Amino acid sequence: MPKGRRTVSAEDRALFWQALQSGTTLREAARMGGIAYNTALKWRARADQTSAEIEAAKVLGAKAAILDGGGSSKVARDRALSPDMPPVIPTSRLSARAQRGLEDFDYFRTVYLGRVPSPWQVDAAYKIVEWLEHPEKQFLVLNCPPGVGKSTLFHDVAVWCIVRNRAIRVMIGSISQTLAKMYSRRIRDTLERTVPMHPDPEMVARGLAINAEACLSLDYGRFKPQNQGALWRAEEFIVEQQGNMGLDNKEPTVSAYGIESEFIGHRAELCLFDDVAGPENSKESVARDKLIERWDSMAEARVDPGGLLAVIGQRLGPGDLYAHCLSKISYEEVEEYDGNDVLDISENVEPIKHSKYHHMVYKAYYEELDDGPKSRRQDAAPWPNGPLLEPFRLSWKDLSYIRHNSPSKFEVVYQQQDMADGHYLIERTWATGGMGNDGVLYPGCIDQHRRPGYLPPGLAQPLISIATVDPSPTMFWAVQWWVYQPETNLRYLIDVERCKLTAEELLGYDTGTGSYWGLMEDWQTRSDDMGCKITHWVVEVNAAQRFLLAHDFVRRWQAKRGVNVIAHHTGRNKLDENLGIEALLPPLWRTGQVRLPTMRDNWKTLAFIDEMATWTRGKKNGTDLVMAHWFAELHMPQLRPTHAPPRMWRPSWLAS
């Protein structure tokens, strides 16, 4: 051994490469392995050279396969002999395999991307391309269950469209710039690949992928430009164009955009948005408002005339982005007047309107196609020849578990229903009366001839008269007055107030005059005058609302008026399966045991019904009237009704 040198042990070598692969710098890895920095440089250079030789061998192997193929065209053999990827190949000179790939999406994904057949993805791809080729601007919502390859679908569609038309501009959108960049990078890596794609062997073994037969750059010509200064970044890149078309003034073929970004710099013919809606921005919140504002003002404005904007994802609830898009309508343009007909301009002609967004729905399970246990096996035929959309990726075992344990989630997230049956608190038909969607004739809850603030005529004792208060330190308060008749089990809503209040505006006390004022005092006086005295006030006192009962004058007012104030505490009892909102309220509305004042010119009843019909567990704002109603039903069984004073018997001679 030459003097001054030492033999590096296998342990030191392993320590060096382990440190280098973990992300440390070359100098730090050399120090940890106990070797000189120059030695580390040589080892690194030798490793890079070896990797390049291995990659070149793979390319040569692919080219050799083309050269050895008896059916290969002369163009393919000439390309294989070229040291670099071939330039863009005109459509007329493409091989038979490449020609078929332009027209057959399923064949294209199998040969070039290593995908297993998926009927629903093929069906969706053809419809997307059909709308993309429409002369007018198109919008699309595509809803499908999670775990069936929706992101893969958009990747494959984008790649296919670029191969078919290199001049197209594609925008890839997501909830964040990082996620959109990841999708864009995946498309770029697919286009610049020089050897056929070989997925993870485990994926192949499980039947989720297959080995690709060819690569796009060899069959269609290179996509990565040879110009050193050409745009080829992960977040945006330009593909090689056919002929002598320059790239200097060409907008990016693919650009990535996060919906939360402040600016979108480009327009595109094909805008694909994935993973935009999530649990946090699908409920009533600032995040949801911001998402919808950004979508309306920025995302929809990025699609060029004659282009397509498509958003894909699973339904999450009634307030998600997809529901917002599907609620939009557009009007057909009126044809130009040609002078042949004379129209009566006095006629009020209703313009023709239709949904702005096309809606494509793919459910996880199609019950009408279920022929028994054999049709639900993992090796069974997928939709449309079987009941399961993806029998292997989304098996019946997983779906049946979700269907049994979380039926609401199954209907919304996996079946793409606008809202699962029973997920809303009530149906509007229960309140207004009439035939429901289930074929049941409901009596309704409206007293058509009773105005708010009035008792029903002929209401007999005994009665329970109760008022409820759902306060808020910053938002709207809800105050309701209910009268319950135990004999008929009917509860009548007498009056409602929904406005912003302060504690003094609810009940105030003038120390100078010793008089009380505020809404509670006004309603108490009114109930006394109407002969149906409010005997109990139920007031929520959570957190900031505790100040309502902290004053001595409130207790003095109780004694003066002869009423009780019940402090209500909202916690887990709100969603209790026996005493919660969903347990107590819907049965009363379904059977007409809740009686409301007329809806004619009465915002109070309209607002109450609207809150009841749109209430969900995740709803944050606009629930105060529902909460006040629940307070009354929760505490009413504990209250004793007031009876009319007994009639004393008197002799007839005394009465005369």
pLDDT over 80 (residue 431): yes
Q: How confident is the model at residue 399 (pLDDT cuts 50, 70, 90)?
A: very high
User: Residue 27 has what pLDDT?
Assistant: 84
Average pLDDT of 161-183? Answer: 93
User: Residue 266 has what pLDDT?
Assistant: 79
Amino acid at 34: G
Q: Which of 65-79, 455-469, 641-655 has the lowest mean pLDDT?
A: 65-79
Q: Which of 13-22, 50-59, 371-380, 560-569 has the lowest mean pLDDT?
A: 50-59
pLDDT over 80 (residue 507): yes
In angstroms, the Cα distances linking 447 to 328, 452, 604, 605 are: 34, 10, 14, 11
Query: Cβ-count burial of 137 within 10 angstroms (0-12 exposed, 13-18 middle, 19+ buried)?
Result: middle
Average pLDDT of 34-47? Answer: 81
Average pLDDT of 167-180? Answer: 92
Q: Each residue of 194-208: pLDDT tens digit?
A: 888 887 787 778 777
Supply the DSSP string of 64-132, one letter for each residue. HHHHH-TT--HHHHHHHHSSS---PPPGGG--HHHHHHHH-HHHHIIIII-PPP-HHHHHHHHHHHHHH
Average pLDDT of 589-618? Answer: 88
Average pLDDT of 494-508? Answer: 89
In angstroms, the Cα distances linking 322 to 60, 275, 316, 361 are: 48, 12, 9, 11
- How much is the pTM? 0.59
Please indicate whether residue 480 or residue 74 has the higher confidence score (pLDDT): 480
Greatest mean pLDDT range, 83-97, 170-184, 206-220: 170-184
Supply the DSSP string of 265-329, one letter for each residue. ---EEEEEEES---SGGGSSSHHHHHHHHHIIIIIGGGEEEEEEEEEEE----TTSHHHHHHT-E
**Share above pLDDT 90 across residues of the chain, in percent, rounded to a whole number:** 41
204 neighbors 211 (Cβ within 8 angstroms) = yes
Average pLDDT along the chain: 83
User: Residue 76 has what pLDDT?
Assistant: 45
Q: Each residue of 44-83: pLDDT tens digit?
A: 777 776 666 555 555 555 555 544 544 444 434 434 433 4
Phi-psi region of 281 (alpha: psi -120 to 50; beta: other; left: phi over 0): alpha
What domains appear along the chain, each with residue ranges and CATH number? 10-68 (no CATH), 74-330 (3.40.50), 366-414 (no CATH), 428-638 (3.30.420.240)
Greatest mean pLDDT range, 1-5, 82-86, 511-515: 511-515
Please indicate whether residue 162 or residue 502 has the higher confidence score (pLDDT): 162
Q: How confident is the model at residue 529 (pLDDT cuts 50, 70, 90)?
A: very high
Q: Which of 343-352, 355-364, 447-456, 539-548 has the lowest mean pLDDT?
A: 343-352
Q: Which residue in this structure is represented by tokens 């006030």? A: 537
Q: How confident is the model at residue 22 (pLDDT cuts 50, 70, 90)?
A: low
Q: Each residue of 268-317: pLDDT tens digit?
A: 999 999 989 888 887 767 788 888 888 988 889 889 999 999 999 999 87
Q: Each residue of 555-579: pLDDT tens digit?
A: 899 999 999 999 888 887 887 878 8
User: Residue 654 has what pLDDT?
Assistant: 64
Q: How confident is the model at residue 642 (pLDDT cuts 50, 70, 90)?
A: low
Start-to-end CA distance of the chain, whole Å, equals: 140
Q: Each residue of 208-257: pLDDT tens digit?
A: 788 899 889 988 988 998 877 788 999 999 999 887 565 555 789 999 99
User: Residue 36 has what pLDDT?
Assistant: 85
The pair of structure tokens assigned to 618 is: 């995740």
The pair of structure tokens assigned to 316 is: 């999450």
Q: How confident is the model at residue 14 (pLDDT cuts 50, 70, 90)?
A: low
Q: How confident is the model at residue 110 (pLDDT cuts 50, 70, 90)?
A: very high
Please indicate whether residue 479 or residue 62 has the higher confidence score (pLDDT): 479
